[in-house]
């Protein structure tokens, strides 16, 4: 039996709710309507309450109180409300892990999601799938921490050097969080494209054939670990993966987004504690 198989025989898998599944399916519809998202989210009153609490938090600086889901969609935006709702569902599905800074975890996850979407656009890939895969990629670490909590401090050892966490996981466990997340996504019946992208993300150039989504997530993971999004950091990420994706380094330097432009859901942790 492989070590990865042993993990999935041991841990209690998080449950993907029907609301979560409907939100995932909605990412495959480029013309999704406000009414559809409202119908999905409103089926879960607790989720609606959490969304309103976060929309009214200091981070969003709303000009007035957000009193309803309709208000939230109008003031925050359909895309961000859907993003917040799905992220909140996934956050709720996993236990709180001792020794892991949950706010930092979600900040990093959303940065990875945002960079994945940006890179996918440059590489001509499905940007919605890339965002979803980038947001999920670190979920495997939560299962690793449940399965083998003794190794978590070593995996999370500071400083967080880009790519280092995956190398530590491979050395300590024989597999990486990306492979754990891929297996979880397969069991959750996510599209095969997302499963394969996640499975190859920690070492995309060794995948035969090369998986472009895996390459995108790999680069996004590096960028998400870097403290600043300045053009010069493009020179620090793996050039061979950039080349495999046929991305133009000059375009990357000119167009790189700032992390504060991405949707920040780190307050989900606080909202969960208050719920």
Q: For residue 14, give the nearest of 136, 133, 155, 152 by alpha carbon.
A: 136
Gap between the Cα atoms of 220 and 218, Å rounded: 5
Q: Is the dihedral of CA 129, 17, 110, 210 positive or negative?
A: negative
Burial pattern 181-197, b for ≥16 Cβ within 10 A else e, equals bbbbbeebebbebbbbb
Contact residues for 148 (Cβ-Cβ < 8 A; gap 6+): 7, 173
Helix spans in the chain (H)? 3-10, 18-26, 34-41, 45-55, 69-76, 78-93, 102-123, 127-136, 139-147, 152-155, 164-173, 177-187, 192-200, 212-224, 239-244, 249-255, 268-274
Contact at 8 Å (CB) between 190 and 183? no
Q: For residue 69, what pLDDT is reported?
A: 87
Q: For residue 113, what pLDDT is reported?
A: 92
Gap between the Cα atoms of 256 and 120, Å rounded: 13
Contact at 8 Å (CB) between 96 and 102? yes
pTM over 0.85: yes
Low-confidence ranges of the chain (pLDDT < 70): 1, 58-60, 263-275
């Amino acid at each position: 039996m492989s070590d990865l198989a042993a993990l999935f025989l041991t841990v209690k898998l998080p449950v993907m709710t029907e609301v979560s599944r409907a939100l995932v399916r909605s990412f495959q519809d480029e013309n999704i309507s406000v009414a559809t998202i409202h119908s999905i989210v409103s089926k879960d009153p607790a989720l609606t309450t959490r969304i309103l609490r976060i929309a009214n938090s200091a981070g969003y600086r709303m000009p007035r109180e957000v009193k309803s889901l309709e208000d939230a969609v109008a003031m925050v935006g359909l895309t961000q409300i859907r993003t917040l709702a799905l992220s909140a569902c996934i956050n709720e599905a996993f236990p709180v892990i001792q020794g892991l800074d949950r706010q930092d975890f979600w900040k990093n996850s959303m940065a990875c999601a945002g960079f994945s979407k940006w890179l996918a656009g440059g590489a001509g890939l499905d940007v919605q799938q890339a965002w979803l895969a980038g947001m999920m990629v670190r979920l495997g670490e939560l299962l690793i921490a449940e399965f083998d909590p003794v190794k978590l401090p070593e995996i999370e050892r500071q400083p967080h050097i880009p790519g280092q966490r995956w190398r530590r996981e491979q050395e300590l466990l024989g597999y990486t969080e990306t492979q754990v997340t891929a297996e979880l996504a397969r069991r959750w019946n996510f599209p095969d494209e997302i499963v394969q992208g996640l499975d190859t993300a920690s070492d995309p150039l060794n995948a035969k054939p090369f998986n472009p989504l895996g390459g995108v997530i790999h680069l996004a993971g590096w960028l998400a670990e870097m403290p600043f999004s300045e053009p010069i950091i493009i020179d620090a990420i793996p050039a061979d993966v950039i080349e495999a994706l046929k991305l133009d380094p000059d375009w990357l330097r000119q167009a790189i987004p700032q992390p504060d432009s991405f949707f920040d859901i780190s307050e989900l942790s606080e909202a969960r504690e208050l719920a």
